[in-house]
Each structure stands twice: as structure tokens, then as C-alpha cells.
């Protein structure tokens, strides 16, 4: 199948597969105290500085672990109306923490301090849940990327008002590749308190990592991680995949490639009649409205998801293994149908 449906339709990068095989040797201490996990933790420290690392099976588990670390049941997480934690996690954060989510309308998936300011008057009012966390996705669910200045402004605003910033980094590699800075400069140096570092969408078989920078959030984190059901006894097999991802900047090479494929796709379709690109193509997603009658025949050749059934806005995702031939084949098929 050639698909633009999701970056997790893709398989496993060969270097990741080899790393799993290399870790499949002898007995190792379980629950993360093994040699492979230790080595990977050091690699994360090399990239990010002082950091506590916890490995999880999936992005929902990573987000719930992060939010548990910084939220009490009467507190609230401010997020965008498109946030994965709100729209795509079956209520996991609210169910397992008891906190509430305060979604904000946004045209491009991003939050700004101006949007959040009106929520500040909840603070101290016993009748309101208390905003404690600003949760952002980088890149966003709409394929846009926060600039460094935008991230710093949000973090400064959060900290000035007693809040933390959580970053859902399921696609952090794509965002950082687009920004052209280091992982550290795009996260902890901006003031991010806690984040997930995505693996599954960028070539891993399974796994995400929770990265905790704020010292206040570290002490209870291992207990929340365990309670969330995300502590894997054979942790080495998740951790070692991240070692391969960080080695020789594999994360960056793969994410840059996926982003380039999205740029190519956007360029090729932008001049077609009756095709309207609806979001800035900052990372590896292209959002576009196309005539309703071409959707099904195009999708039968190259699966993809409809983002908005009212406007017929479609989402086309590129991944680390999307090829130029697939992009040109897709564009050719779309042209013929149009
Ligand atoms: C923004 C975002 N966060 C997190 C996830 C991870 O979700 P899952 O729990 O399916 O791994 C996804 C996957 O679609 C996502 O798009």
C-alpha cells in the first residue's frame, strides 16, 4: 500500500530494527536498569542537558504520564481544540487524572498568550477548575510549527502565571527539522517543563519517551509512570530504539526527508485547479480542500483521511519512507481525476 494516511502507517527503519536485534542478547536487568537504557539516557542528556527520561509504549501513555506529573484533580490543562489529548485519547487524561481540559479555538493549531489570558480570572476562584498546564503540540495536529519566539512567549507567560508547559512531541523531530535548531534550543531552552519525544511516527517499532526538565516534576514521575501502565519490564527494547534514533542524527535525517516530501507534494498540487491548501506546510502534513467527487477514487489508490467532513478538507501525511515517486504518482492520479 502507498499511503498518505498517517506517518504511523509506515514500518520500522532498518537501523532501528538492527538496534532491537543487538539488544536481544543475554539477560539484562529489567524495568530500565539495564545497560541499553542507561546508554540511551546518556544520549538524551547529551542532546537536552539534565533530564529525567521515562520510556512509554505510545503517545497517549506519554501524554497521560506527563500531565499526571503536573496536574491535580481540581486543576485544568489549557489546550487547542485540535489537541490530541482532547480529540484522540478517548478522555484518557481526564479519566486517569481527574483534571479537566480547557480547549481554545485556533485557526492554525497554535496557542498564544493572548488566547489564554481570559482564563486567568479562573485562578483563585473555588468554583472553577484551576489552569495549571498549557499543553501544546509541536508540530501541531494541523502540521504547523511554533517558532522559537512563539514557544518562549508561551513559556514565559505560563511561568509568570504559575503554570507549566507540556509539549506533545509526537512529531517533535519534524518540528525541529523545520526550525533548523538543536533539540535543546527548541525545547528546554525555550522553557518547556515536560514533553514527550515521539518515536513511533519517525521510524520506531514502538515507543515514545517522556522527558522531564523541571526539577519540581521529577520526584513523583516514576510512580505516575508505573501507575499509568507504561513501565515496560523489558525496557531495553524501547530504549535501544531511541539510541539508534539519536545516533548520527537519524531522527533529523528521517524527519527532514518527510518534511521535504510534504513540501514537494504541496508545491505540486498548489497550482492545480480546485485544490486549495488550507494550512501552512511547516512540517510533514499537507491539508487541502479538493472537489468531493475526486476524494473516493483518489483515496482508493492512495489511502488518506478526511480531516473535516463539512468542508472536505483532507489530510495528507508524509513519513520517513515516503518516496518522490509516491508523491509524483499521487499528484498524477489527482490531476487525472480533476
Ligand atoms: C499529536 C499527537 N500526539 C500523540 C499521538 C500518539 O498517539 P498514540 O497513543 O496513538 O501513540 C499522536 C498520534 O496520532 C499525535 O498525532
Whether 156 is covered by a domain: the verdict is: yes
| Alpha-carbon gap, residue 32 to 51, rounded angstroms | 15
Q: Which residues of the chain have pLDDT under 70?
A: none
User: Of the candidates 219, 248, 277, which is a domain's last residue?
Assistant: 248
Whether residues 276 and 152 share a domain: the answer is no
CA 125–ligand 1 middle distance (angstroms): 33
Q: Closest Cα to atom 10, ligand 1: which residue?
A: 59
Give the ligand 1 atom nearest the CA of 63.
4
pLDDT score recorded for residue 2: 84
| Alpha-carbon gap, residue 187 to 148, rounded angstroms | 9
Whether residues 209 and 75 share a domain: the answer is yes
Query: CA 288 → CA 18, 307, 331, distances in Å?
Result: 37, 9, 13
Whether residues 217 and 73 share a domain: the answer is yes
Upper half-sphere CA count for residue 53 (Cβ side, 13 Å): 29
Domain at 289, CATH number: 3.90.1150.10
CA 271–ligand 1 middle distance (angstroms): 31
CA 141–ligand 1 middle distance (angstroms): 9
Whether residues 240 and 286 share a domain: the answer is no
pLDDT digits (tens, 9 = 90+) for 205-214: 999 999 999 9
Reference 334, options 285, 307, 299; nearest CA is: 299
Whether 9 is covered by a domain: the verdict is: no
Whether 73 is covered by a domain: the verdict is: yes
* 97 touches 73 (CB < 8 A): yes
Q: Closest Cα to atom 7, ligand 1: which residue?
A: 59
CA 278–ligand 1 middle distance (angstroms): 22
pLDDT score recorded for residue 133: 98
Whether residues 158 and 33 share a domain: the answer is yes
Whether residues 244 and 139 share a domain: the answer is yes
Domain at 164, CATH number: 3.40.640.10
Whether residues 268 and 237 share a domain: the answer is no
pTM: 0.98
Whether residues 167 and 80 share a domain: the answer is yes
Point out which residues pair with 101 in neighbouring strands. 77
Upper half-sphere CA count for residue 157 (Cβ side, 13 Å): 21
CA 9–ligand 1 middle distance (angstroms): 12
CA 60–ligand 1 middle distance (angstroms): 6
Give the ligand 1 atom nearest the CA of 57.
11
Give the ligand 1 atom nearest the CA of 60.
9
User: Of the candidates 248, 264, 299, which is a domain's last residue?
Assistant: 248
Reference 152, options 110, 114, 190; nearest CA is: 190
Whether residues 225 and 113 share a domain: the answer is yes
| Alpha-carbon gap, residue 138 to 165, rounded angstroms | 12
* 236 touches 207 (CB < 8 A): no
Instruction: For 127-166, give one letter per residue: b (16+ CB within 10 A) or e.
Output: eebbbbbbbbbbbbbbbbbbeeebbebbbebbeebebbbb
Pocket test for ligand 1, best of 5, 9, 55, 88 (most atoms within 8 A of CB): 88
Pocket test for ligand 1, best of 56, 79, 84 (most atoms within 8 A of CB): 84
pLDDT score recorded for residue 262: 98
Whether residues 33 and 131 share a domain: the answer is yes
CA 15–ligand 1 middle distance (angstroms): 23
Whether residues 60 and 128 share a domain: the answer is yes
CA 59–ligand 1 middle distance (angstroms): 5
Whether 2 is covered by a domain: the verdict is: no
User: Pocket around ligand 1: residues whose beta carbon is below 6 Å from it?
Assistant: 58-60, 84, 137, 141, 168, 170, 200
User: Of the candidates 248, 280, 315, which is a domain's last residue?
Assistant: 248
Domain that holds residue 125: 14-248
CA 332–ligand 1 middle distance (angstroms): 30
Whether 7 is covered by a domain: the verdict is: no
Instruction: For 199-217, give one letter per residue: b (16+ CB within 10 A) or e.
Output: bbbbbbbbbbbbbbbbeeb
Query: Helix or strand or coil: residue 264?
Result: helix
Q: Closest Cα to atom 6, ligand 1: which residue?
A: 59
CA 91–ligand 1 middle distance (angstroms): 13
Number of domains in the chain: 2
pLDDT score recorded for residue 1: 82
Q: Closest Cα to atom 1, ligand 1: which residue?
A: 84
Amino acid at each position: 500500500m502507498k499511503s498518505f494516511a498517517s506517518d504511523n502507517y509506515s514500518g520500522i527503519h532498518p537501523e532501528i530494527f538492527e538496534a532491537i536485534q543487538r539488544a536481544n542478547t543475554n539477560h539484562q536487568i529489567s524495568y530500565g536498569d539495564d545497560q541499553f537504557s542507561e546508554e540511551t539516557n546518556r544520549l538524551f542528556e547529551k542532546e537536552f542537558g539534565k533530564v529525567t527520561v521515562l520510556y512509554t509504549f505510545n503517545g497517549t501513555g506519554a501524554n497521560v504520564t506527563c500531565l499526571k506529573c503536573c496536574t491535580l484533580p481540581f486543576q485544568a490543562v489549557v489546550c487547542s481544540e485540535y489537541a490530541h489529548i482532547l480529540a484522540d485519547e478517548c478522555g484518557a487524561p481526564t479519566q486517569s487524572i481527574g483534571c479537566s481540559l480547557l480547549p481554545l479555538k485556533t485557526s492554525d493549531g497554535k496557542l498564544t498568550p493572548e488566547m489564554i489570558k481570559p482564563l486567568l480570572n479562573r485562578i483563585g476562584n473555588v468554583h472553577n477548575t484551576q489552569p495549571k498546564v498549557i499543553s501544546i503540540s509541536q508540530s501541531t495536529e494541523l502540521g504547523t510549527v511554533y517558532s522559537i519566539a512563539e514557544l518562549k512567549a508561551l513559556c514565559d507567560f505560563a511561568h509568570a502565571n504559575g503554570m507549566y508547559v507540556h509539549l506533545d512531541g509526537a512529531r517533535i523531530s519534524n518540528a525541529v527539522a523545520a526550525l533548523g535548531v538543536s533539540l535543546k534550543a527548541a525545547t528546554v531552552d525555550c522553557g518547556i517543563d515536560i514533553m514527550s519525544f515521539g518515536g513511533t511516527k519517525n521510524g520506531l517499532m514502538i515507543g515514545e519517551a517522556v522527558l522531564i526538565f523541571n526539577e519540581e516534576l521529577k520526584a513523583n514521575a516514576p510512580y505516575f509512570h508505573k501507575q499509568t501502565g507504561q513501565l515496560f519490564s523489558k525496557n531495553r527494547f524501547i530504549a535501544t530504539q531511541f539510541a539508534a534514533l539519536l545516533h548520527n542524527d537519524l531522527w533529523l535525517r528521517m524527519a527532514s526527508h518527510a518534511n521535504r516530501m510534504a513540501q514537494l507534494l504541496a508545491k505540486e498540487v498548489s497550482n492545480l485547479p480546485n485544490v486549495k491548501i488550507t494550512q501552512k506546510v511547516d512540517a510533514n502534513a499537507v491539508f487541502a480542500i479538493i472537489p468531493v467527487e475526486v476524494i473516493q477514487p483518489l483515496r482508493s489508490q492512495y489511502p488518506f483521511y478526511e480531516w473535516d467532513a463539512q468542508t472536505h478538507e483532507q489530510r495528507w501525511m508524509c513519513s520517513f519512507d515516503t518516496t518522490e515517486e509516491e508523491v509524483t504518482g499521487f499528484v498524477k492520479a489527482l490531476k487525472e481525476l480533476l
